[in-house]
Amino acid sequence: MRSRFSLKQEFLKKWILGLQRCRSSKKNMSIFERKKVIKLSADVAMASARKGTTCWSRALIADAIKEGNADKHLAEKILGPASERQLTEKVPVGAMAYNKRIRSKKILKRSSVILRTIKCAPQAARPSSIVKRLVGKRRQILRSLIPGGEFMNGVSLIEETLDYIISLRAQVDVMRSLASASKLVNLN
């Protein structure tokens, strides 16, 4: 429990700092913008709490500051000056190479599957192939859910998922306690 506690602690700290950093010039942002900022800062804080040890955290941060992102400036502001962002630099390069590898592997696999289905079509009814298909489908879904999931192979996908789930839980707990605390203050 202590490790989870310190994770929450760190997350909260970084979240507050992120919120601080990306204060807006206009005082009354719309509620959706506020929500976006809150969520983004929370996500980035959660990812940075991992300090680059996990793939999903790196991918999340890299995603937040990549060029095509609408909130890039926001994320950059949250992350702070460029001197502190030592963790995010190595992600895009590695990710691209890995992505190519994954793509080529997928092409190979698909061609082999096509060959296999041509040769032995009636055996598709075997439970093993069905199971493989199902598991593969779910793996795809999982990959789409986890940030940077496309870059992981089977085993690391599961590990990353676990870490991501833990972080998400911590994040949800902290946010929930904040929300309830604020509600109490409103009542008083």
Partner 1 sequence: TTETRSNVTVPDGGEVAAFESLQFTDEIHRLISAPATDNASSFTALLELPATQVVELLHSPESVKLIVASAPNVEDFKGSFHFPSNTGLIQKDARFSVFSGEGNNKNEKSNSPEMTSKISSANLEKAVKSEPAETASSLPLVSDPTVENRNIKRKDREKKVKGSTKKSKTATNKRLEDAEKLPYVHVRARRGQATDSHSLAERARREKINARMKLLQELVPGCNKSIGNYIFVFKSFRIKKLIALKSPCSLNFFRMQTEFIYFDDYLRSEKSHVPQISGTALVLDEIINHVQSLQRQVEFLSMRLATVNPRIDFNLDSLFTPESGSTMDGGNFPSLVTPLMWPDVQVNGYRQQFQHQWHFDTLKQPIWGREEVCNNYVTLENSLLSYDSSANSGKITF
**Class of residue 66 by CB neighbours under 10 A (exposed 0-12, middle 13-18, buried 19+):** middle
Site for partner 1 in 71-110 (CB under 8 A): 78-80, 84-87
Tell me the window of 66-74, 91-99, 111-119, 121-129 that interacts with partner 1 (CB under 8 A). Answer: 121-129
Binder among 59, 74, 91, 174 for partner 1 (CB under 8 A): 174
Binder among 66, 77, 139, 150 for partner 1 (CB under 8 A): 139
| Cβ neighbours for 167, distance < 8 A, ≥ 6 positions apart | 7, 11, 46, 47, 49, 50, 57
Residue 129, token pair as written in the block: 């192939």
The alpha carbon torsion through 171, 172, 174, 179 (nearest 10 deg) reads 140
Question: Measured from the CB atom, is 42 or 95 closer to partner 1?
Answer: 42
Q: Measure the CA angle with vertex 69, ends 29 and 154; round to 5°.
A: 125
Question: Under the criterion CB under 8 A, does residue 10 sit at the interface with partner 1?
Answer: yes
Question: Under the criterion CB under 8 A, does residue 66 sit at the interface with partner 1?
Answer: no
Q: Of 185, 161, 181, 184, nearest to 173 (Cα)? A: 181
Question: Measured from the CB atom, is 99 or 182 closer to partner 1?
Answer: 182
Question: Under the criterion CB under 8 A, does residue 142 sit at the interface with partner 1?
Answer: yes
Question: Under the criterion CB under 8 A, does residue 20 sit at the interface with partner 1?
Answer: yes
The one-letter amino acid at 107: I
Question: Measured from the CB atom, is 97 or 134 closer to partner 1?
Answer: 134
Minimum distance, C-beta of residue 63 to partner 1, in the bound complex (Å): 14
Minimum distance, C-beta of residue 122 to partner 1, in the bound complex (Å): 11
